[in-house]
Amino acid sequence: MDKYRVKPGKKIALRDFDPNDRGDMQGEKDKGIEKLAKLRLELNQLQELLYAEHKHKLLIVLQAMDTAGKDGTIRSVFEGVNPQGVRVANFKAPTVPELDHDYLWRVHAQVPGKGEITIFNRSQYEDVLVVRVHNLVPETVWKKRYQHINAFERMLADESTTILKFYLNIDAEEQKQRFLERLNTPEKNWKFNPSDLSERKLWPQYIQAYEDALNETSTDWAPWYVVPANHNWYRNLVVVSVIVGTLKGLKMSFPKPDEDLAQYRKALESE
């Protein structure tokens, strides 16, 4: 999965990442779904270990164009994982109290605690994406935010937070088909908002904003992954593979009891 990682200091262009890519699983969707199921089980076990050890924290950031599947990724990847140790934070238009503070104030309040996995469905990056595309603040303001965000994430990493950031990469034609599916399927009509089409007209501006964000903020301590997302099953497989591999790398272990438990075992067995 390292080929999807944006290397720090190396400039990328999103046109060089194929949204239809399926890695070495081209034409092997069934095998991919089978592998996905196995990795979910591993994630379940690793999440329990993370929660029990109560030492590390995992922050997952999901960003994408409309219809790329942030919600679907969360549902699929974390299917069966104990909800006690997993939390989703959604960042929509800021409220009045949030606007009265700096733009990272509402974000910092949602970061994971020890033993917890937190998933950001949108994130601090809205303030260098939507804010930029819609000219909500001057360029001199949003350009400084790349450094702010890098420093913020560095602080989190120094405080034992592991950070993984995923850009779910779809193309404009796939987005069009997904919008049509929402319009043509009564059960999905509720997902469609007419403003989605206004945002779609700004596709080139969003792509440029995403490219700059990826290039400016993919770091050793908080890497970005450009995930092929035209095929949902492969999108989910890439995300769960990166998460499982990262959690394994933490070398976690269950905590040892503070005292010998033999006496309690004997007491129960003698009842």
Task: Indicate the pLDDT class of residue 240, thresholds 50, 70 and 90.
Answer: very high
What does the alpha-carbon distance between residue 76 and residue 85 come to, in Å, rounded to a whole number?
A: 16
Task: Indicate the pLDDT class of residue 266, thresholds 50, 70 and 90.
Answer: confident
Which residues, at least 6 apart from 26, have a Cβ–Cβ distance to it below 8 Å?
none
State yes or no: pLDDT of 197 exceeds 90. Answer: yes
Task: Indicate the pLDDT class of residue 253, thresholds 50, 70 and 90.
Answer: very high
Q: What percent of the chain has pLDDT over 90?
A: 88
Note the pLDDT of residue 96: 95
State yes or no: pLDDT of 217 exceeds 90. Answer: yes
Mean pLDDT over 186-209 rounds to: 94
Task: Indicate the pLDDT class of residue 101, thresholds 50, 70 and 90.
Answer: very high
Task: Indicate the pLDDT class of residue 262, thresholds 50, 70 and 90.
Answer: confident
Note the pLDDT of residue 259: 77
pLDDT per residue over 9-51, tens digit each? 999 999 999 999 999 888 899 999 999 999 999 999 999 999 9
Mean pLDDT over 58-68 rounds to: 97
State yes or no: pLDDT of 258 exceeds 80. Answer: no
> What is 2-269's CATH topology?
Rossmann fold (3.40.50)
pLDDT per residue over 112-163, tens digit each? 999 999 999 999 999 999 999 999 999 999 999 999 999 999 999 999 999 9
Which residue has better confidence, 193 or 212? Answer: 212
Q: Hey, where are the domains in the chain?
A: 2-269
pLDDT per residue over 173-187, tens digit each? 999 999 999 999 999
State yes or no: pLDDT of 167 exceeds 80. Answer: yes
Note the pLDDT of residue 17: 97
In angstroms, what CA-CA distances link 85 with 82, 158, 184, 267? 6, 21, 37, 32
| b/e sequence 92-131, b meaning 16+ C-beta within 10 Å | eeeeeeeeeeebeebbeebbbeebbbbbbbbbbbbbbbbb
213: its two tokens: 């964000």
Q: Which helix (H) or strand (E) element contains residue 176?
A: helix 172-184
Task: Indicate the pLDDT class of residue 91, thresholds 50, 70 and 90.
Answer: very high
Average pLDDT taken over every residue of the chain: 95
Task: Indicate the pLDDT class of residue 260, thresholds 50, 70 and 90.
Answer: confident
What does the alpha-carbon distance between residue 4 and residue 74 come to, in Å, rounded to a whole number?
A: 19
